[in-house]
Chain A
Amino acid sequence: AQSVTQLDSQVPVFEEAPVELRCNYSSSVSVYLFWYVQYPNQGLQLLLKYLSGSTLVKGINGFEAEFNKSQTSFHLRKPSVHISDTAEYFCAVSQPAPGYAGGTSYGKLTFGQGTILTVHP
């Protein structure tokens, strides 16, 4: 079984300030990690993903995340936020497919509860 915890339900920040949205996961096998963003009345958009290799992952809109296996974390960061970054952000975990790296999943995602990022002028 796997689970995801997003440590902050809401994060208010001023425009041009840096931001970090925290995500911790638990899993007994290797994982793939994702961050999605949801703007009001829209579906989920993939921001970035960690599958393997470099632990620092860069995504769209200037976001990046760092996979830390020892701390089982995948925190999302942006050095300078804009008003347009106001949205809800979801961290998610998936397992590799069966027969690979101990995985048992065909891509089913387990999501955290979400973090609402509000950027103030």
Chain B
Amino acid sequence: GAGVSQSPSNKVTEKGKDVELRCDPISGHTALYWYRQSLGQGLEFLIYFQGNSAPDKSGLPSDRFSAERTGGSVSTLTIQRTQQEDSAVYLCASSPIRANYGYTFGSGTRLTVV
């Protein structure tokens, strides 16, 4: 597509439920990143994909967080047993293979855990 697409744009969930956030990167972009933006922590790196593998998942805050990418394209970030501190905007970005040249970000998914 023309840009990075994320869905849903907003998600309200009850504490303890699982959620899945989806990212559809720009066609042909092999690098994909997830970031989290919250009031207290600013913008934090979560995980990086090159193709379908994740060489760097050092930013995932706990084992309740996982992500996968299939077909070198769509990625899903899953949060299990959500907690209120998971409330944030989750941003996805994609980049051509030479990822240091700057990403294109999606508009994000705003997650609210109540």
Contact = CB atoms under 8 A, between A and B. Distances in A.
Contacts of B31: 106-107
A111 B43 contact: yes
A117 B75 CA distance: 33
Among A95, A96, A109, A112: residue with most chain B CB under 10 A: A109
B108 A43 contact: yes
A26 interface: no
B93 to A, nearest CB: 8
B95 A107 contact: yes
B65 interface: no
30 contacts: A32-B100, A34-B102, A41-B107, A43-B91, A43-B107, A44-B93, A45-B105, A46-B102, A51-B100, A90-B43, A96-B100, A97-B99, A97-B100, A105-B100, A106-B31, A106-B50, A106-B56, A107-B33, A107-B48, A107-B95, A107-B99, A107-B100, A107-B103, A108-B56, A109-B45, A109-B103, A110-B45, A111-B43, A113-B42, A114-B43
Contacts of A45: 105
Given A106-B55, A107-B33, A109-B45, A44 B101 contact: no
Main secondary structure of the interface of B (DSSP, over half): strand
Main secondary structure of the interface of A (DSSP, over half): loop
Q: Which 6 A-B residue pairs are closest in the complex by CB-CB distance? A: A107-B99, A43-B105, A111-B43, A44-B105, A43-B107, A46-B102
Interface residues of B, number: 25
Interface in B48-101: 48, 50, 55-56, 91, 93, 95, 98-101
Interface of A: 32, 34, 36, 41-46, 49, 51, 90, 92, 94-97, 105-114
Contacts of B102: 34, 46, 49
Contacts of B48: 106-108
